Amino acid sequence: TQWNQEGMTFLIIEHNMDVIMSLCDRVWVVAEGRNLAVGTPIEIQRNPQVLEAYLGQ
């Protein structure tokens, strides 16, 4: 993106995952105050720990 080319970083705190997945190149997931996962949107969508924390078994 243009932001990446200019060396800019943004911190977005959002619960709407559609927004996050469409805007972000890299996603950090926090659950219960701890860093649960870091990765691309695709990696986060497939991460078993993220799925367990937010969707249950």
Average pLDDT, the chain: 88
b/e sequence 4-36, b meaning 16+ C-beta within 10 Å: eeeeeeeeeeeeeeeebeeebeebebeeeeeeb
Q: For residue 17, what are its two tokens?
A: 């995952």
**Range of 32's domain?**
2-55
Verdict on whether the full-model pTM lies above 0.85: no
Q: What is d(CA 22, CA 25) in angstroms, rounded to the nearest whole number?
A: 9
pLDDT at 17 over 70: yes
Q: What is d(CA 5, CA 29) in angstroms, rounded to the nearest whole number?
A: 24
Question: What integer pLDDT is reported at residue 51 of this predicted model?
Answer: 92
Question: What integer pLDDT is reported at residue 47 of this predicted model?
Answer: 95
Count of domains forming the chain = 1
